[in-house]
A = this chain, B = another copy of it.
Amino acid sequence: MLEPMTAPEIHNNILAALPRKDYQQMLPDLVPVELVFADVLYEPGARMRDVYFPGDCLVSLLTVVENHLALEVGMVGREGMVGVALTLGAEESPVRALVQGAGPALQMKTSRFLAVLRDCKALQRALNGYLYGLMAQISRTAGCNRFHIVEARLAKWLLMTRDRLASAEFPMTQEFLSSMLGVRRVGVTESATALQRQGLIEYSRGKIRILDGAGLEDAACSCYAAERQGTDGSNRSYSVLTTA
């Protein structure tokens, strides 16, 4: 499920923002792992055994409604952490956490995390700030899912994913996308085809590439811009990425 890493060159914003000595204290407990595409890190209602600090990879937070598709409510990349709910004293995840873009992350046992968290003000502050941003994201996404058409949401989603993976090309099937956007797979096909016809993206058999980022931003709903603005305070890394 998780493969050990060789080179621990993993950049995570939360950890990077900590004072040297706090980071040093955590270091022995941080295990470099390679998150594998489609792995489920948490199921809703189940205990969170480990927390994860993603590097250039992407974990989706999904709400699961019985008898329906899943629906993405939030994304975690290197700007955040998977398992923030623990900072609220919770033990169980309210959502499913699904690895959606494979890549390196730092893993830490929940018990160790909580022990460090208790004494480390800097970590508390960083995670509080992140949690606030995440809540805002979840609320925004809720509105987006309600009001915007699939094509625009797909465009937004591709851009957000690109930003977090720091790459304009990544593996992604339409089947997978359908459970992110909460629509039928065929709905994704139709929207994806449309975007491809416009020359904005290109894809085949589980690989998607963004050809025209600016064009895709036009095709995306306003939520993408809002998202960027919203995360600006806590981490301006995206601004760099997305103009690249």
Q: Which residues of A approach B to under 8 Å, CB–CB?
A: 61, 63-66, 68-69, 71, 73, 85, 87-90, 94-95, 125, 128-129, 131-132, 135-136, 138-148, 182, 222-223
Contacts and interface: CB of A to CB of B under 8 A. Distances in A.
Given A69-B147, A135-B138, A141-B142, 11 more contacts: A63-B139, A63-B142, A63-B143, A64-B143, A65-B140, A85-B135, A88-B135, A89-B128, A90-B129, A94-B135, A145-B145
Contacts of A90: 129, 132
A148 B145 CA distance: 13
Contacts of A138: 73, 135, 138-139, 142
25 contacts: A61-B139, A63-B139, A63-B140, A64-B143, A65-B143, A65-B148, A71-B142, A71-B143, A73-B138, A73-B139, A73-B142, A73-B143, A85-B132, A88-B128, A88-B131, A89-B125, A89-B128, A90-B132, A94-B135, A94-B139, A138-B138, A138-B139, A143-B182, A146-B146, A147-B182
